[in-house]
Each structure stands twice: as structure tokens, then as C-alpha cells.
Structure 1
């Protein structure tokens, strides 16, 4: 039976995570699900994000996934805890706990972010939903209680990326605006986390307007390293993940649109299958 690793996102951004997972752990099979028909999640309520995410996780479980990565900061912030604590014991009961697992992108990042900062001041650039959830503030405090965390919501950045304007002159205004606002909260910020999987496509412009000495962190590499470590520590899950190097892609919206946009995020051409939930 094929038992791929599931990777879920509300749209295309999670493909930047999948790209890093494939580079780091190419032997595994992966199935990516983008809920493009209902994106964006960043502006939706906690309850709506939770219900949408749970529906997609259920589908990935039905496809044979033993492990699902929520490659979406909003879903990780608004849905992961409920799914792990309330739903997994029912959806995937096991003698020693749930026999299927769901992981997010927030914890792997917060476990290491303090290692990059010399001033003890870090900035978080994210969607409004992620910022409002305070998930990064809460999680960072667990690992680096003396770190000062400053957040900035960037509501225009995802539309810029998804409309292909991430490298256009028009993007400069919005990137500069939010970098300036973030740095205005603390000029001592020396580490900036891109806490949305769309934002790596704006990396060139972010570097242009961020302080020259600031470390800009994308999540893909961090999440990939964390998953590799997780699989080593959980052989009961790792041994059940199939390893044929296969990739498949699902979208809840137009496959034509998805395939065209996915190339930008994933870095190579793909062919998707439409999914009706």
C-alpha cells in the first residue's frame, strides 16, 4: 500500500516547503493538497480554518498518509493543536497514542530562531491570521524566554505573490512599508522570520529594504531538517512511509491554474488532479 507523506496548504505557498522536503528527503513519496478554492485562510476565523484544515487532513489520511505536514502557518496557528488533541485520538486511534501524526511549521521554527539572533530581538512577518493568533510569541517564549518578539502583519503580500507581482516595481511599496513598520517597533531586530510560505518569493525585495546585517529566515530548510529528525526519532511512523520517490499534487480548484502557478513555487512543472471535498 502506498503511504506517502501528506503536505497541506491553503494554496500554493506550501510548495516552497515541499520543494525543501524533497531536496532533503527525496526517497519518500509525497502527496500535496492545495485548498485553492477556499484560499486565503489568513483572513478567516479560527473555526473556519480549523474545519477546512481538518477536512483536508481527513482526505490525506484516506489517501494512505501516515504523516501530514501542515505547510501553512495559518493552519498551523489556528487548527493544529485542536487536530492533534481532539481529532487524532478519534481519527487514528492506536494502543500507544494516535497511529497517524499531523505536524506544523511553527514549532520547528520557534525551536531554533533564537540561535540566529545576537541582539535578542526578532521580527515576524506573517499574515494577519497568524499574527492575531500570537502563536509565534507563545511558542518562542517556551524555547527562548528572554527573546523579544515583534510582529508585523502583511496582508498585501500573498495577493502580490499569487498575482505574479512579487518581482514588480509595484511590490516595492508594500514590502518597504512593512519592513519599515517592523523595524520601527525595534531598531535592534537582527533576525527576521518569513512566517508565511508565500514570502520566500519576495526575498530579493525583502533583503533590499531590510537592514544589511539582518538574518532573513525562510522556513523550508528548517522544516525539512526538523522532519528528518522527527522520522529518525519515530521509526514506528518512518517505516510505514512509502519510499518510491513519487510526487502527486491535488487542488480543490482549477488544475490549469494550479499547474501554472505551482511551477513558480515548486521550481519545476507539475501536473495536478482536481479534488472535490
Structure 2
């Protein structure tokens, strides 16, 4: 029996990472859990995000996962180190892979970061970028409207364009960056709108590809890559509306996604986090 890889997110955004993981690791089985009922995580306190993340992690640990991918920037910022120190399986987030990709593409070392309030306030991206290259200059902008519009399926049209234009105006006015990190895994779903608003001269970076590459390298190092040629049977779970989740998922994947069920996450004792 294939041992699966767990992927968690605050909602549907992590599907952008899951799709890239499935593309680069086609033999692996993935179990995805999106906490759509309590999305977005960005405005929530660090304590809440940590509690919710641990609830998702404990649910997936019962399914004997061999690796955990935190496909949520806010959860990565607040819980990655703790999970890596606590769990006995490899745990990777999306922030460091995204930072590395941005540095690779930037020509003038001026990088923009957009994300949820929590991710921006944590300064996780500036810290990750400067730890690699101290000459990097970072302009960050919280974009609270983006996650709700993605979760609601407002992905195109005049209303979506207006929201994106108004939200990105402060960053666009700075006019110095040549690279923009989508510091939330929901944002690649509206990447075309963001690219259109920022202009073609801006390199827009999402962390999915680099995160998948890192997962592959870590599995190879641990000799845990799947060799079974049998078609993997992925599992998708949500804590919220199944039909909404399925609608966004089917728009993002090349084939219909089978959402197994609504999940009611158990309370986690405070001693667990």
C-alpha cells in the first residue's frame, strides 16, 4: 500500500501547490485537507493559526503520511519550525522555496511580496530573502480581499479586475520591483489578473514548483520515493462546503476532483502546540 504525502491549507489555495506536487511526483499519493470553514487564516492570531494547523496535522497523521507539506504561507510562517522539531516525518513549507525562486529571477534585487495580513506581519519572506542575500530590498503588501474572492470563485470579470487593481495600487505605485512573490497559495489561481495589473515587465513567482522540487529531493534523500507504478488514488477533504471546494478544484485541475467528505476537526489540547 502506498504511503501518502499530506498537504494542508487554510482553504482551496493549497491546490496550486498540490497540482505541482502531483505533476513532479506522479507516482506519489496525496491527501489534501483544506480548512475552508475557517478560511482565511491571514487575519487570525498566531495562536489560532497554530491551533488550527495542529488540528489538520493530527487528522492527517492518523492516515500514516510520510511527509507533510504546509501549503499555506500563514501556517508556514507560524508553525513550520515547531512542526519540524516535533514530528518524525519531513515537513516542508512554501516560504523558503518561494524566496529562492524569486532571487533566481530578480535582476535588480528589488522584490515585492503580497500575502495575507498574517504572512506580511510575520516578515517571514523578508527574513528568508535577506538570509540568502543581504542586498535584497523587499516591498511587502497585505492583500486581504484576495483569499475571499478566490474562495467564493470570483476569478475573472470586471469585479475581479477592480478588486485586484485597487488592492495592488500601493505596490504598483512604488514602481521599483522587478519580481513579485505570490506569498499566498490562493493567489496563483488569480495570477493572470495580478500579472495583467502589474505589467509584463514584472516576473510573478508562485512557490508551487520550487516546493515540489524540494519535496522530491527530500524524499530521494530519505529513500522514500514511491516506485509502485499503480495509479495513485488521491484524497481531498474540506472542513467547509464540499460543492464550493469541488467547483474551484475542478477549475484548477485537468480532471474532475473527487472530494471525499466534509471533515469535522477535533479539538487539540493546548499541550499539543
TM-score for both structures, normalised by structure 2: 0.90
For 2:201, what is the secondary structure of its paired residue? coil
RMSD: 2.0
Moved more, 13-22 or 223-232: 223-232
Partner of 1:36: 36
For 2:141, what is the secondary structure of its paired residue? strand
Between the aligned partners of 1:241 and 1:169, the Cα distance in structure 2 is: 47
Partner of 1:95: none
Question: What per-residue deviation string (whole Å, max 9, x for no partner) do you get for residues 108-129 of structure 1?
Answer: 1122321111111000011111
* 1:248 lines up with 2:235 in the alignment: yes
Question: What per-residue deviation string (whole Å, max 9, x for no partner) do you get for residues 106-155 of structure 1?
Answer: 11112232111111100001111110111001111111211001101111
Partner of 2:45: 45
Give the paired residue count. 264
Partner of 1:94: none
Deviation at 1:261, TM superposition (A): 2.7
Between the aligned partners of 2:253 and 2:36, the Cα distance in structure 1 is: 15
Q: Which runs of 4+ in 1 moved over 4 A?
A: 239-244
* 1:257 lines up with 2:244 in the alignment: yes
Change (3 A) 1:158 1:241: farther
Question: What per-residue deviation string (whole Å, max 9, x for no partner) do you get for residues 73-111 of structure 1?
Answer: 1111112122223x32xxxxxxxxx3x122111111122
Partner of 1:157: 146
Report 1:149-228 matches (<5 A): 149-185=138-174, 187-228=175-216
Between the aligned partners of 1:257 and 1:170, the Cα distance in structure 2 is: 19
Q: Is the 8 A contact 2:40 2:148 kept in 1?
A: no
Change (3 A) 1:242 1:3: farther
Q: Is the 8 A contact 1:4 1:242 kept in 2?
A: no
Q: Is the 8 A contact 2:24 2:213 kept in 1?
A: yes
For 1:138, what is the secondary structure of its paired residue? helix
Gaps of 5+ in 1: 89-97
Deviation at 1:233, TM superposition (A): 2.4
Between the aligned partners of 1:140 and 1:8, the Cα distance in structure 2 is: 24
Deviation at 1:158, TM superposition (A): 1.1
Deviation at 1:179, TM superposition (A): 2.8
Gaps of 5+ in 2: 266-273
Question: What per-residue deviation string (whole Å, max 9, x for no partner) do you get for residues 222-273 of structure 1?
Answer: 21122222222232x4469997522111112232332223212334322222
Partner of 1:57: 57
Between the aligned partners of 2:227 and 2:45, the Cα distance in structure 1 is: 35
Change (3 A) 1:176 1:257: closer
For 1:178, what is the secondary structure of its paired residue? helix
